[in-house]
Amino acid sequence: MTRMSIPTGRVYLAVTITTFFWGANFVLAGWVLEDLSPDWASALRFLFGAGLMSVLAWRRGENLAGLARRYAANYLLLGLVGIVGFNLLFFRAMQTTSADNGALIMATNPLLTTLLAAATLRERVSAKHWAALPIALSGVAIVITHGELARLQHLQIVEGDLLMLGANLTWAAFNICSRRFSPNASAIANTALMMSTGALVLLAIAAASGAALSMPGPQAFSALVIMTIAGTVLAYLFWGIGIRQLGAGRTSLFLNLVPVFAMLVGASAGEWPNSAQITGGALVLTGMIIAILPARQGVMVRAGESYFPKRHHE
C-alpha cells in the first residue's frame, strides 16, 4: 500500500479539538440531565455513538467481527475502563461535588498520567514537559476560581470529591491502557468496538437502575446529539490517535485546556470571563506550547491502515 505522511501538528490539532468538545460537554450535559437520569444519559450517548462509529467502520470495509473475536479481551478492558468506569464515576461525582472541586481534581490528571506512563510504559518525560505541568496547572486554578485563589482554602471534601478522584484515576488508567492494549487496527474500528462494549454495559446498568426513560425535550435532545457526534465519536477517535502517536503523558497535558474551553463556551452563553480568567487561560496555553515545541517530525502510516504504530512487543 502507498504511504502517506500525517504531520504531528495535525495530531496536536485533533487533540486540541477533542478538549474543546469536552469543555463544551460541561454546558451540554446540564441540558441533557434536565430530562434524563445520569445512567440513561451515559447509556444513550454511547449507544448512539457506537452505532455511528459502527456504520462508519462498515462503510470503510472494516472487519469488525473478526477484530471482536480476536481482541475481545482488549476491547472489553478499554470499554470498561474508559467508558463505563469513568462516566459512571464522573456523573455520580457531579451530583454531590462542586464544579470547582471537580475541575481541580481532574486538572491533576496530566501529572498522574505522566507518572503512570513513565512507570508502566517507560515513556521518557522531558524537562520541558515537567516545566509545562505546573504552569498549566496554575492556569487551570486561576480559570476555575475566577482569579480568586483564596477560594481554594474554602473547598470542602465531600463524597463526590472521592468519586471524582476515582474518575481521575480511571481516566489516567484508560490513557495507559489505550497506549498498551489498543489492537493494531484502524482508529475507527478500535473506537467502534470499544464504544460498543462500553455502551452495552452502560445500557444494562441503566436498565437495572430503575430510573425512568422518557423522551427528552428539543433542547436536551439537541444537546445529546451534539455530545454524541462531537464529544463522544470524534473526541474518543481523536484522543485515541493522540495517545498512540504522541504518548499518554504528552497527550494528557491537553486536558488542561478543558476548563479553558468550558469558560469560552460559557462566554458564548453570556457568562463572560474576567481578566484573571483570561490570564489563567494564557498560562495554560503557555504550558501547552512549552510541552509541544520539541515535537516536529511527521508520523508515517500506511493508507487505509491504523493511525496507531505497530508495537514490537505484541
Kindly report the pTM of this predicted structure: 0.74
Spatial neighbors of 204 by CB under 8 A, at least 6 apart, are: none
End-to-end CA distance of the chain: 22
Whether residue 118 lies inside any domain: the answer is yes
Whether residue 92 lies inside any domain: the answer is yes
Whether residue 306 lies inside any domain: the answer is no
Whether residue 125 lies inside any domain: the answer is yes
Whether residue 140 lies inside any domain: the answer is yes
Residue of 103, 18, 47 lying closest to 225 (CA atoms): 47
Place of cell 474508559: 82
Burial classification of residue 58, based on how many CB atoms lie within 10 Å of its CB (0-12 exposed, 13-18 middle, 19 or more buried): middle
Whether residue 302 lies inside any domain: the answer is no
Residue 169 forms beta bridges with which residues?
none
Higher pLDDT, residue 93 or 7:
93
Higher pLDDT, residue 307 or 93:
93
Specify the pLDDT at position 297. Answer: 45
Whether residue 100 lies inside any domain: the answer is yes
Specify the pLDDT at position 309. Answer: 41
Higher pLDDT, residue 132 or 253:
253
Contact of 307 with 186, CB cutoff 8 Å: yes
Specify the pLDDT at position 234. Answer: 93
Q: How many domains does the chain have?
A: 1
Whether residue 10 lies inside any domain: the answer is yes
Contact of 139 with 283, CB cutoff 8 Å: yes
Q: What is the pLDDT of residues 25-68, one digit of tens each?
A: 877 877 888 888 888 988 999 999 999 999 999 999 999 999 99
Q: Provide the residue range defining the domain that includes 123.
A: 3-297
Reported as type and span, the H/E element at residue 280 is helix 275-292
Predicted confidence band of residue 122 (pLDDT cuts 50, 70, 90): confident
122 sits in the region (left: phi over 0; alpha: psi -120 to 50; else beta) called: left
Output phi, psi for 33, to 5 deg: -70, -10
Reported as type and span, the H/E element at residue 301 is strand 299-302
